[in-house]
Amino acid sequence: MRYRRLFNWFILIALGFGAFYPPQTARADQADFALADQVSAYDLIIAMNTLRVSYGLPALIEDPIVNAVAQSTAQIMAENSMSWHIGNVRGRLASAGYGNGGTVWATENFAVSSGGMGIDQIMAAWADPDHMRPAVEPAYCNVGAGVATANGKTYYILQAAYVSGQECGSYSSSGGTVQPGGGSGLVPQIIIPVMIATPDADGKVYHVVQAGQSFWSIAIAYQITIQDLETWNNISRNIPLQSGQRLFIPNKDTAGYATPTPVGMVVPQAP
């Protein structure tokens, strides 16, 4: 029940920003790789880990080998204008050295757009059970991501993996983590769960931002959209939230605010 409720709200939050751009199949002879302007590999990992933490699971640990394979995957798929996975992600990770010879299990999510996608649209595309595995399956331990643009199309890749029979954290690859905007370095992923604020004397709810909290995690916690946070607080998701920042949280009792029906809440009659 909790899974379905959070899953429904996750889809609502993600779909509240625009339509999903479907994969394109056009090809071109030459590729010019570049990171997407709006969404980076770092953004993909933070969004998935924020969702995972909301399910009460520990955040996935970035692994440089998984990052490298994910980035290579994004570049290969972009260069060849692929419309489906390369395949055998667990084998590709093992061949690259992940797991130190152990039995590797892995899953891969990808999205592609010819016009650029926001993190909300990408996560909406990944809202089905198969793509939710990195967020809801406890076994997964490590994560990596890659983004590449070629011939006007941008590919977004996220891979999650674990080694059979080994405790998470007992194996690791040398290297750093993905920084905002790309690159690598030692950037800790601290995701602070959001504690729901209580209404004040006037019935209004204000959330005080804590270090490590993001638009995405706050929207999930209060079951609203990032666009709601922007509109009702006159702010932009392009400007990072500051610790101690006070945000107004609209609800069904807020004048001028309408809560749409969450996806999945209307159940059709069985035939």
pLDDT digits (tens, 9 = 90+) for 224-269: 878 888 889 999 887 888 999 999 999 888 887 765 444 333 333 3
Q: In angstroms, rounded to a whole number, what is the distance separating the alpha carbons of residues 146 and 158? A: 7
Q: Nearest-5° angle of CA 170, CA 171, CA 172?
A: 130
Are 170 and 200 within one domain?
A: no
Are 62 and 148 within one domain?
A: yes
Are 56 and 111 within one domain?
A: yes
Are 53 and 28 within one domain?
A: yes
Are 148 and 241 within one domain?
A: no
141, part of any domain? yes
Are 118 and 232 within one domain?
A: no
Are 215 and 135 within one domain?
A: no
Are 180 and 226 within one domain?
A: no
Taking all residues of the chain, what is their mean pLDDT, rounded to a whole number?
76
Which of 155, 185, 215 lies at the terminal end of a domain, its last residue? 185
pLDDT tens digits for range 170-188: 776 655 444 444 444 434 4
45, part of any domain? yes
pLDDT band at 25 (very low <50, low <70, confident <90, very high): very low
Question: How many domains is the chain partitioned into structurally?
Answer: 2
CATH number of residue 161's parent domain: 3.40.33.10
270, part of any domain? no
111, part of any domain? yes
**84 is written with which tokens?**
């489906």
68, part of any domain? yes
**45 is written with which tokens?**
């990992």
Which of 162, 185, 208 lies at the terminal end of a domain, its last residue? 185
271, part of any domain? no
Q: Tell which residue, 216, 223, 97, has the closest CA to residue 163.
A: 97
Answer with the residue of higher pLDDT: 167 or 189: 167
Which of 134, 154, 185 lies at the terminal end of a domain, its last residue? 185
139 within 8 A of 36, measured Cβ to Cβ: no
- Please indicate, yes or no, whether the overall pTM of this predicted structure exceeds 0.75: no
Strand blocks (E) in 122-228: 142-150, 153-163, 177-178, 184-185, 205-208
Are 21 and 137 within one domain?
A: yes
CATH number of residue 250's parent domain: 3.10.350.10
269, part of any domain? no
268, part of any domain? no
Q: Residue 70: what residue type?
A: A
Predicted local distance difference test score (pLDDT) of residue 86: 83
Are 21 and 96 within one domain?
A: yes
Are 68 and 132 within one domain?
A: yes
Q: Which domain holds residue 225?
A: 192-262
Are 169 and 207 within one domain?
A: no
pLDDT higher than threshold 60 for residue 4: no
Q: Alpha carbon of 260 to those of 27, 194, 228: distances in Å?
A: 39, 22, 12
Answer with the residue of higher pLDDT: 18 or 81: 81
Task: Kindly state the helix (H) or strand (E) to which residue 249 belongs, with its residue range.
Answer: strand 246-249
